[in-house]
Structure 1
Amino acid sequence: MPAALIWFIVAVGLAGAEALTGDMFLLMLGGGALAAAGSSAIFDGPLWVDGAVFLVVSLLLLALVRPSLRRRLTSATALETGIEALEGKKALVLDQVTQHHGQVKLEGEVWTARPLNDHDVYQPGDQVTVMHIDGATAVVWKDA
């Protein structure tokens, strides 16, 4: 069996194994094996030359291509949705906010609210920050 065919089979095997891992490591080695198969088919040199081509191309792919490919395929941050997206937003006090009652306008909707510190009281018109959502109640705090 010619060496080029063996290198090609190794390249296909590594690419197939990459489908199971998703780490892009085996795919880069598969690229090196494919380059070795090409050099073996074109130049028909000794086996150590094919090994050197495999090593050099694999290392170059791992160092230069893999980091940018992983950055492109991996999302940076997941989008916050639901109540997590409301934390840190500014709200307008509509009805006096005390420990037991109050309302704020948050993202165009009216929410029941209570202060983060139980003794604080916020008056209508005050700007507050949503610290977290507790059930259906916005827990708010006013910046000093």
Structure 2
Amino acid sequence: MEPFQEHRWLLWAVVSAVMACTEMLSGDFTLLMLAAGAGAGAITAAIVPGMWLVQVLVAVAVAAILLAVLRPTLLRRVRDAPGYRSSFDKLVGSDGVATSEITDGHGQVKIDGEEWSARTLEPGLTIATGEKIEVYEVDGATLVVYPVFRSLGP
């Protein structure tokens, strides 16, 4: 840490850059707000290099304010944008396979390697284990499914 004593701002800048780059993997805006706080810490370190406590306080304050004020606004704008589909919405139309018998009350399916609770689209319909299914809709945490290779209804 000796080389960073004179140039502590550089350490803050590196931390900020790493967090900002890692944000690209999550898309949750949390690391971006923390990166901005670290950036504020870097600016503070450049202005008052010997006052590490002030640097930390500024970084924490900026990150906290951005997390509380800016992040919810950004998330709302992204989610309200035309064409946005949540991970649940993306399940609609997905193909999978029944891992247990599915009735209109309960069952299990596997979609893209993930296990989900499921029920059939039509009352009285039963889907056998191993049968191919497609997701019709998402009802809470339960997928409403129908068999791919059978006709529905009378």
Give the alignment's TM-score, normalised by structure 2: 0.48
Please state how far the C-alpha of 1:44 moved relative to its aligned partner. Answer: 1.8
Please state how far the C-alpha of 1:76 moved relative to its aligned partner. Answer: 6.5
Correspondence list, 1:19-38, <5 A: 19-38=24-43
**2:17 aligned with 1:12:** yes
**2:63 aligned with 1:58:** yes
Name segments (4+ residues, structure 1) moved above 4 Å: 76-79
Separation in 1 of the partners of 2:83 and 2:25? 24
Please state how far the C-alpha of 1:45 moved relative to its aligned partner. Answer: 3.5
Over residues 87-140 of structure 1, what are the superposed CA-to-partner deviations in whole Å (9 max), with x where a residue is unaligned? xxxxxxxxxxxxxxxxxxxxxxxxxxxxxxxxxxxxxxxxxxxxxxxxxxxxxx
Correspondence list, 1:43-82, <5 A: 43-75=48-80
Please state how far the C-alpha of 1:42 moved relative to its aligned partner. Answer: 1.4
Query: CA distance change for structure 1 residues 78 and 19 in 2, over 3 Å: closer, same or farther?
Result: closer
Partner of 1:23, secondary structure, is: coil
Partner of 1:74, secondary structure, is: helix
For structure 2, the 5+ residue unaligned runs are: 85-154
Identity %: 39
Please state how far the C-alpha of 1:14 moved relative to its aligned partner. Answer: 0.4
Give the alignment's TM-score, normalised by structure 1: 0.51
For structure 1, the 5+ residue unaligned runs are: 80-144
